[in-house]
Amino acid sequence: MTKEMSQRDLSDASAPAEGPTREVKTALACFVSEIKSFNDDIQCRLQQQEERLTMLDRKSLSPARPALSAAADTDAPHQKAFEAYLRSGDDDALRGIDLEGKSLTTAVAADGGYLVDPKTADVIQSVLRSNASLRAAANVVNVEATSYDVLIDHGDLGSGWATETDPASETTTPSIERISIPLHELSALPKASQRLLDDAAFDIETWLASRIADKFARAEAAAFVSGDGVDKPTGFLTHTTVDNASWSWGNLGYAVTGADGGFDATNPADCLFDLVYALDAEYRAGATFLMNSRTAGAVRKLKDADGRFLWSDGLAAQAPARLAGYPVLIVEDMPDIASDAMAIAFGDFAAGYTIVERPDTRILRDPFSAKPHVLFYATKRVGGDVSDFAAIKLLKFGTS
């Protein structure tokens, strides 16, 4: 009895000591559990963030996702429709496109071809401008008409001295000359096989632009120099030439080298200075020499009395060579040095020769005439003629 009571007393004495320990253990377990939950939540959020970033990277790198554009590409619809027309002849999309506020069907008939897309047209024009032809020095005018009229005042307005009281006398009136430059149709006819057109890797627009530009550049460059004016521009060398001492309006004046088919053996360079000063001072400031490569090869060997070459190459990139201080433009359609040939021209061609053109180029697709090839009939309208006969002088390789 006494033993049982003593054990019970000991048990009751130890109970208060185990209560605080149990509470501490329970609190510690809860704290560890909360730390683990917090850590699991952080890991879950980091994983979600990583997955979200990965998804964004995939979208940005996807080839099907179009690049953002700051401005709408107004040429894209016409360019895509034009490419479809070139490849397959499908012109339905072209008929419905509004270009510069006007429907193409009102500006271009289907049987007359379609306007090339702006990108291709810019390529063609840039090649024509950069080509070594008279276009690089002449006055180029864009028109929407079939001809272009140039008004030239080549007569002096009369004048006279007057006193305070004497009546003024009538003076002579100026002479106004009207020069009409018609536009002619320039065409090119490149072709490609339908199988090649079906190949998506084939850049049809670049190929077509280069072929058309090459044909147009060569044809018009020759016409600006020696065209007869029949269905083509009138070349400046086709006009009547006279000795500069007896020059009159409507003719081109020339100086002579003093030797038949070559330069004078004693003073070969003198004729170049005769040519330069045959041109009036008002034109010399903007004057340029024109000659072909073979003539340039002979001219650049000429020296002055002190043994210095008259020819000097341009110091800067793309700068023209200079002869006697004036720029030289190489035009391969100029004639070679020969007996009585007008192989060198000198003048202010921006004033002396005017090129007139319509800025648009048209393409007509013809899949029938040259099967299995497809022909592309490209056309543009251009004209040219002398607009100031006093602004151009020639060098004749002869004695008179």
Six token digits for residue 80: 């895509």
Question: Whole-angstrom Cα distance, residue 7 to residue 210?
Answer: 114
Q: Are both 143 and 267 inside the same structural domain?
A: no
Q: Are both 192 and 285 inside the same structural domain?
A: no
Instruction: Give residue 283's domain range.
Output: 236-354+387-396
Q: Are both 209 and 246 inside the same structural domain?
A: no
Q: Are both 186 and 271 inside the same structural domain?
A: no
Q: Are both 216 and 302 inside the same structural domain?
A: no
Rounded to the nearest 5 percent, the helix, strand and coil shares of the chain are 40, 25, 35
Question: Whole-angstrom Cα distance, residue 191 to residue 75?
Answer: 25
Q: Which candidate, 350, 348, 346, places its Cα nearest to that of 272? A: 346
Q: Are both 334 and 219 inside the same structural domain?
A: no
Residue 19, domain member (yes or no): no
Q: Which candidate, 354, 390, 353, places its Cα nearest to that of 153? A: 390
Total domains in the fold of the chain:
2
Contacts of 167 (CB under 8 A, 6+ apart): none
Question: Whole-angstrom Cα distance, residue 297 to residue 291?
Answer: 10
Q: Are both 297 and 188 inside the same structural domain?
A: no
Residue 24, domain member (yes or no): no
Q: Which candidate, 376, 290, 299, places its Cα nearest to that of 335? A: 290
Q: Are both 82 and 213 inside the same structural domain?
A: yes
Q: Are both 283 and 214 inside the same structural domain?
A: no
Six token digits for residue 366: 């013809």
Residuewise pLDDT in 10s, the chain (400 residues):
454 555 555 455 444 556 677 777 787 778 778 888 877 888 888 787 777 766 655 545 444 444 433 444 444 555 666 666 666 665 555 555 444 433 333 335 445 555 555 555 665 666 565 556 888 899 999 888 889 998 877 665 556 666 666 666 665 666 677 889 999 998 888 888 877 777 766 677 777 777 888 888 888 899 999 999 999 999 999 999 999 999 999 999 999 999 999 999 888 999 999 999 999 999 999 999 999 999 999 999 998 888 889 999 876 666 789 999 899 999 999 999 999 999 999 999 999 999 999 877 788 888 888 888 888 888 889 999 999 999 999 999 999 8
Residue 164, domain member (yes or no): no
Q: How far is CA 367 from CA 15, 79, 124, 375, in A?
A: 108, 20, 23, 6
Exposed e or buried b per residue across 192-205, where buried means at least 16 C-beta atoms within 10 angstroms of its C-beta? beeeebeeeeeebb
Q: Which candidate, 395, 103, 111, 67, places its Cα nearest to that of 262? A: 395
DSSP secondary structure, 231-286, as one string:
SSPBPGGGS-EEEGGG--TTSEEEEE-EETTEE-SS-TTHHHHHHHHHS-HHHHTT
CATH number of the domain where residue 321 is located: 3.30.2320.10
